[in-house]
Amino acid sequence: MFKNLPKFVFFTGKGGVGKTSLACATSVNLADDGKRVLLVSTDPASNVGQVFDIKIGNHITLIADVPNLEALEIDPEAAAEEYRERIIGPIRNTLPEKALASIQEQLSGACTTEIAAFDEFTALLTDQALIERYDHIIFDTAPTGHTIRLLKLPGAWSGFLESGGDASCLGPLAGLEKQRERYVTAVESLSNADLTRLILVTRPRTSSLSEAARTYRELADIGIQNQHLAINGVMPEDALVDPLADSMIGREVDAINGISTALASLPQTRFYLRPENLVGLDALRRMNQPVETLRSDAPRRALDNLPPLSRLVDDIEADGKGLVMTMGKGGVGKTTIAAAVAVELAARGHEVLLTTTDPAAHLTETLAGDIDNLEVSRIDPEVETQVYRDHIMATRGASLDAQGRKMLEEDLRSPCTEEIAVFQAFSRVIRAAGRKFVVMDTAPTGHTLLLLDATGSYHRDILRHASETSARMVTPMMRLQDPSQTKVLIVTLPETTPVLEAARLQEDLKRAEITPYAWVVNASLAATETTHPLLVARAATEASEITRVQEALSLRYAVVPMLAEDPVGANKLRALVAG
């Protein structure tokens, strides 16, 4: 595992690369060596509890059979509720009901949830009693986009307050002034190489390594220099002949050899692909043991009649138009599946718009050229935010005096502005689906749920202010809830943790009255004909997860095999659909 770790250790990277597994295994390894360890998840979609097979939640919990290890999952919703109560509690009995309701509405959005989680995060970096209690505090952070934003917040808010920003005018940010000293301390801790190390977790794939390089630069720009590269899931080289295994090894070698100079300069640790899912203490402790090529004679569990993606496309095509959304945890292949569905629909003669809200997506690289009937776009958060700011300043700000414009500019620098701007772009895309197919590659689950929460807030606000004459009004949320207009494809991998994450996403969607249309199990070894012992062993672990999807989680599903070649370009994407 990792050597000479400082007090604070962050595991970060694109979703699905194994951050949680490495964070948990590192924590167990340190605790087994006699160190006092606190493992903290700041991921809105945390699954640390599943890895240890215990309920953790938003309180420090001792991990059974590892006496020196305790864990904490920062629950964004619970944190938000506590944060709201801290603001509303002291004034609940002093304000008129209408004014109180207005404040509660201000504090009901996703921005409050993020700020509340950030508030708890900084507390862990600055609580001296807590720091002295542990030798190491290990953070299993959220997928890269959320983590970058989370790590930037201490600097952003201390800078905002330092410049004289009026936090009281920013709704959910009320009360930040009281935390100024704590935020400054948090920034200093994050930038102190003697106190903090950030481990960039990646897969040995070009897109994942490129994402790690971007993360490295963004973190370095905010003063976090003490970084370490962990390449997880490397296929061990051996003399066995297997087309799929040989292809995987070749692609991984090319990807690693092609990493940027900056990334190559970082200290690096490689972890080989394991024959088992990293769930449970025994499996976590085996992470320290070398991988031996398995030569088991155990038969592969047969999975008959695995439906290809083409069957789902047939059903989707029947409506002639509509919104198709691929959703799921980062790293499960949403971009590829979205591109494949869009290309297939376009090849069948339909007008298709393929778009993404994911800042880490690479649609143009996947398509590798122009395709008839297919338009490609991207909702760029930075661009949309700037357009929104400019519009507000040109309209609402036009009638303000200099002081009023200054206050409005301060308001528009809050993180909430990006959420509103992206939502407006998202709504425009939803409307386009009324006349053609729109296939949307969404961002990783946490970001997507924030987006849908914004949609729901807008929906509730419209209905609350709608008159009887606007009964026919159709909001974006109504379109998402209508299965004849929107089909959500939940994309997952045939592994325990991704399936658990996807099941949790499905429940969240159902609470928002959005019923997923189908599941897509991507990159399945069980759907291939590999004979490599390690891959056969991995394939055997998939059977129970695919069966669970089939029998308990979805009426419709498709299984896409692990491919020997990257599905780049129209022909390979269509071949992926055909299975």
Read out DSSP for 3-70? Answer: -S--SEEEEEESTTSSHHHHHHHHHHHHHHTT--EEEEE--TT--HHHHHTS---SS-EEPTT-TTEE
Q: Residue 260: enclosing H or E segment and its boundaries?
A: none
List the beta bridge partners of residue 378. Answer: 356
Distance set, CA 280 to CA 249, 500, 541 (Å): 28, 15, 14
Contacts of residue 97, Cβ cutoff 8 Å, sequence gap at least 6: none
Q: What is the mean pLDDT of the chain?
A: 83
Measure the CA–CA gap between 450 and 484, rounded to whole angstroms: 24
Predicted pLDDT at 165:
47
Predicted pLDDT at 133:
96
Q: Which amino acid is at 454?
A: A
Say if pTM beats, i.e. exceeds, 0.85: no
Structure tokens at 502: 């996807």
Contacts of residue 145, Cβ cutoff 8 Å, sequence gap at least 6: 359, 360, 443, 444, 447
Predicted pLDDT at 409:
82
CATH fold, domain 309-578, is: Rossmann fold (3.40.50)
Among candidates 14, 38, 1, which has minimal Cα distance to 139? 38
**What residues are annotated to the active site?**
16, 18-21, 43, 497
Measure the CA–CA gap between 194 and 328, rounded to whole angstroms: 36
Are domains 8-288 and 309-578 of this chain identical in fold?
yes
Q: In which residue are the tokens 């509720």 written?
A: 81
Domain 8-288 architecture: 3-Layer(aba) Sandwich (3.40)
In our burial notation (b when 16+ CB lie closer than 10 A, e otherwise), range 255-274 reads bbeebeeebeebeeeebbbb
Measure the CA–CA gap between 204 and 139, rounded to whole angstroms: 22
Pairing of strands 374-378, 352-356: parallel
Note the pLDDT tens digit of each residue in 285-321.
988 777 664 444 545 555 668 899 999 999 999 999 9
List the beta bridge partners of residue 338. Answer: none
Among candidates 438, 416, 210, 216, which has minimal Cα distance to 319? 438
* CB hemisphere CA count around 326 (13 angstroms): 31
Q: Which amino acid is at 436?
A: K
Predicted pLDDT at 427:
81
Contacts of residue 24, Cβ cutoff 8 Å, sequence gap at least 6: 39, 48, 51, 52, 140, 278, 284
Q: Are 565 and 572 in contact (CB under 8 A)?
A: yes
Measure the CA–CA gap between 416 and 80, rounded to whole angstroms: 15
Measure the CA–CA gap between 173 and 115, rounded to whole angstroms: 8
The phi-psi region of residue 65 (left if phi > 0; otherwise alpha if psi is between -120 and 50; otherwise beta) is left
Predicted pLDDT at 37:
98
Predicted pLDDT at 439:
96
pLDDT tens digit at each of 579 positions of the chain: 898 999 999 998 876 788 889 999 999 999 999 999 999 998 766 678 888 888 898 789 999 889 999 999 987 777 788 878 887 888 888 878 877 776 776 676 656 776 777 777 788 888 899 899 999 999 998 655 555 555 566 666 566 555 554 443 344 455 555 666 777 788 788 889 999 999 999 999 887 898 899 889 888 887 888 999 999 999 988 767 899 999 999 999 999 999 999 899 999 999 999 888 788 888 889 887 776 644 445 455 556 688 999 999 999 999 999 999 999 877 788 889 999 999 999 999 999 999 987 665 577 778 878 899 999 988 888 888 899 899 989 998 898 888 888 878 877 776 567 767 777 788 888 888 989 999 998 865 555 665 666 666 666 666 666 555 455 567 777 888 899 999 999 999 998 778 888 998 898 888 878 899 999 999 999 999 898 988 988 888 898 899 999 999 999 999 999 988 888 899 999 999 998
Contacts of residue 409, Cβ cutoff 8 Å, sequence gap at least 6: 393, 397
Is the sign of the CA dihedral 153, 156, 162, 165 positive or negative? Answer: negative
Q: Are 343 and 574 in contact (CB under 8 A)?
A: yes
Measure the CA–CA gap between 506 and 504, rounded to whole angstroms: 5
Measure the CA–CA gap between 201 and 216, rounded to whole angstroms: 11
Measure the CA–CA gap between 219 and 216, rounded to whole angstroms: 5
Predicted pLDDT at 142:
60
Predicted pLDDT at 146:
52
Q: Where are the alpha helices (DSSP H) in 348-440?
A: 363-367, 381-395, 402-411, 416-432
Q: Residue 97: enclosing H or E segment and its boundaries?
A: helix 97-106
| Domain parsing of the chain, residue ranges | 8-288, 309-578
Among candidates 74, 63, 15, which has minimal Cα distance to 36? 63
Please state the φ and ψ torsions of residue 325, each to the nearest 5 degrees.
-115, 125
